[in-house]
Every structure is written in structure tokens, then in C-alpha cells.
Amino acid sequence: MGKTYALVTGASQGLGKAFVLELAKRKLNIILVSLPGEGLDSVAAQVAALGQEAHCYETDLTQKTNIVALAHWVNDRFALRVLINNAGCGGTQQFQDVDVDYLDNIIQLNVKATSLLTHQLLPNLMKREQAYVLNVGSVAAYSPIGFKTVYPASKAFVYSLSRGLYQEFADTNVFFSVVNPGPMMTNGDSCTRLQQQGFFATMGLLTPEQVAAIAVRRLFKRDALIMLNWVNKLTWVVMKFLPVYIRLPLLTKAMKKEVKRT
């Protein structure tokens, strides 16, 4: 078997960077994708230090032409074995206060880029003996939430897309999975913000490195819906069985407090 590659979007920092390094430790060559000017070369250097190939591609995935161009570039040059759709964006703000570009970016990146890139790279993945696609959702996918509005809706799309593709391609060589992380300790600011939300917000908190390690391990064990720890499982159960008329106001109230602090 010749060289195969894993592609990670949003690869310059946070969870995306953690995915890149976790895959490199597992002896996969990596294609790193991010926005221009986000320091992708430094992450690529860390991949090279682990003895693996690293190829960088900088682009804005909110634009359809850029997604198609990236897919053509990959399909012409690399035998793709793993795709991790990690790039995404969101936030907590009052719907009427945000500008149209804020909303558009969430929809284009979380919904369109995930769908189109998977579609365009699928013929490449289907040429491998075994191939894997991991979509990164969020626990927000399990419920609508006021003051986040479009973000949980977009992650619900990612969840639904992933589960549908898993079933559609169950009899093929391409395995689809989705992971829905909760809040992560990405930096000092995020840790402080989560601590302000109280004990339940920080319970079972994981680092991006921990999330990536668990998710990649479960992906290769063919786990279609990846649960990261007991808190992640509990969140899924609560969100699934707690009636929406109870959880929606509770979640919205918590987000309203966050908006007021900012």
C-alpha cells in the first residue's frame, strides 16, 4: 500500500491542532487546512518532528469555490484515508445584535463546508481499503438554545448529516462518525469563563488533546457516535429525554448570563 493521508480542517489551533498531532503520532501523513495567516507552518513543523509528511493549504472554507479548489488539489495529489471536518465557528450573542456576516459565516462553515468538502473528497476516500470521516459537532447539537440560535442549529445539521451518511455508507469501505464535545479548556480565557458558569459547566472538562485522543481512538474502532467521557454521555441522555420546554429555558437562561457578562 502506498502513502495515505489524513486531512484536518481548522488545523492551526485548538482541537484541530490536537487532531493533527494525534494522527501524526499514529504515523499518518497530514494535510493541514486553515485560514491564511494562522501559523499553520509551525504545526506542520511539529508533524515533521514526529516523522510524518505535512502539507499545508490555506483558504477560506466559507466560499464554495475555495472548497472545490481544495478538493481538486487533494484529489490530484494525495491518497486520502481520513477526513476530519473540524473547522467551525459560533458564539453567544443576542440575535438582533450580530451582523449578517457573523450569521453567514456560521452557516457557511459549519453546514456548507462540512457537506461539500465531504462530498467532493468521497470518491478519493472510496478508493482506500478502509477510510474514515469524522465530523466535529457539539453538545449544542442536542437542543435549541437562545442567544446561540444559529450555532446549535448548524451543529444539529452536522449531527444529522453524519448519522445519515453512516447509515447510507454502512456497506462500503468508508466509515462515518461524529463527536459532540462539550466546552473545552482551550486557553486561560475559556477556563475563566467556564468557571464563572459554575460547577456543572466545568464538570468533566477535557483539553483539546484529550478530546482528540479519545475521538481518534474511537473513530478507528468504528464508533459511529463518539462519547468522550461519562459527562458527555450524561449530557446526551439528559438532552435526549428532558422535554424541550424544560431544557430550552434553562439553557437560554445560562447563555443570557454569559451575554450580560460580556
Q: Is the pLDDT of residue 160 over 60?
A: yes
Q: What is the pLDDT of residues 58-111, one digit of tens each?
A: 999 999 999 999 999 999 999 999 999 999 999 999 999 999 999 999 999 999
pLDDT for residue 161: 98
Q: Domain of 16: which CATH number?
A: 3.40.50.720
Average pLDDT over the chain, rounded to an integer: 91
Would you place residue 1 in the very low, low, confident or very high pLDDT band (cuts 50, 70, 90)? low
Catalogue the E-assigned strands of 16-109.
Answer: 29-34, 54-58, 80-85
Task: Provide the grid cell at 64.
Answer: 464554495
pLDDT for residue 203: 59
- Which of residues 1 and 115 earns the better pLDDT score? 115
Beta-sheet strand order (sheet of 80-85): 54-58, 29-34, 5-9, 80-85, 131-136, 174-179, 225-226
- Which of residues 201 and 31 earns the better pLDDT score? 31
Side chain identity at 138, as an amino acid letter? S
Q: Is the pLDDT of residue 55 over 90?
A: yes
Would you place residue 11 in the very low, low, confident or very high pLDDT band (cuts 50, 70, 90)? very high
Would you place residue 262 in the very low, low, confident or very high pLDDT band (cuts 50, 70, 90)? low
Task: Provide the grid cell at 89.
Answer: 465557528
Task: Provide the grid cell at 118.
Answer: 465531504
Q: What is the pLDDT of residues 187-221, one digit of tens each?
A: 444 444 555 444 455 556 899 999 999 999 999 99
Average pLDDT, integer, range 167-180: 98
pLDDT for residue 254: 87
Backbone angles phi, psi at 55, to 5 degrees: -120, 125
Find the angle CA(233)-CA(150)-CA(87) to the nearest 5 degrees: 70
Residue-range definition of the domain harbouring residue 126: 5-261
The domain tally of the chain equals 1
Question: Could you tell me if 182 and 232 are in contact, meaning their C-beta atoms sit under 8 angstroms apart?
Answer: yes
